[in-house]
Structure 1
């Protein structure tokens, strides 16, 4: 089969097509998909630069999600069953193996290209918002990196849940896109680096009920000032670093 390989010294610009064997799989717990479409995630870009190694025992082929046709485990023939899946790696290839519990039927009237972008970002966003933050109707969520894949999903899920979202991003073009997707308001952190003041202004001094944060380090103290009483702060990334300087943890306890 063909797959997309990379050179870790050159990163995303080194992507090229090579040939390899179709992956073997355990039909008791795994399935094989003939890939029709995949999607680009931040993890893919980092892995292509050698900064995001795959889990032990997982293929070095990049790609975390895909859509395509299911292969019959009994006959090894491609079926007409359309599926999408979240995988540990290997989606940048003609065939990829996946745990059978990570398979999902393609929604009706949705094409392969659209559905391939659902498993990683949308499932992550749903889990963050509903399973962890437990957002409620009428609440306000502060979404950092709001124009990212997960961020744009969070905006739409907030709107669907009857919650308001405040988007934080680095440009007004990105914030305009966030507004089109349903954000209540937006903050350009390059213009307002202490964006907590804007959050308090937007929320009439109350702060955010939920913060969805893939940045952490550089925004930690600012986020601390954005918290409403009895709020939830969900950290799911460290784009701003893992170290915090002079954090007032008493402030966190008081919230």
Structure 2
């Protein structure tokens, strides 16, 4: 476990909170493992009937800590040492209802994980971005399938390939979130929704979720994405993207091959 993920259980709801506000809740390997273990516990504990994702500070999450990506791209860390899959695989097989409260910005996996949440409440002024292509990478968490299915190919491609942001109000209007609210109301709304789900007949809730999701297909897409993601991390394009990030400049992909 890590202090950067706070896990509590209250009124039959497991609350999983990003707790690294000084780094905009950028997710480390230890945080992925902690969240994966928490979800596994939630699935096996009959006293837990819903899961709520939330965050401390002014951001939901900046996504994966880019230091890990840069280390793999530079050959300083093996791709196998990255632990995002522990969390993503737990999301894919989850059967209990998941709720998310999103404020500030959500980047990369901070957006793609929402596709696995059954209810999402977001601040009006939140900003969602999936800048995978900007980093010479590809989408993950089965989002290459789930996001186009949710919002359409054109919008999804603009988010992935151009890195176009989506604000909270737009996220609600196109179906990424259930509702957008003033930031001061988001966590209370999400908590009330999680409590409401926890009061419903769990068997019926789980059966409904299972009917609405093809877990095997989601896992298969995640696997394909993960293989390509790993390959992309070791390309010259990725090396340039992370050098540029470290040097605080715009990347120049004109002289590197894919």
TM-score normalised to structure 1 length? 0.27
Q: Which has the larger radius of gyration?
A: 1
Query: Higher relative contact order at CA 8 Å, sep ≥6: structure 1 or structure 2?
Result: 2
TM-score normalised to structure 2 length? 0.27
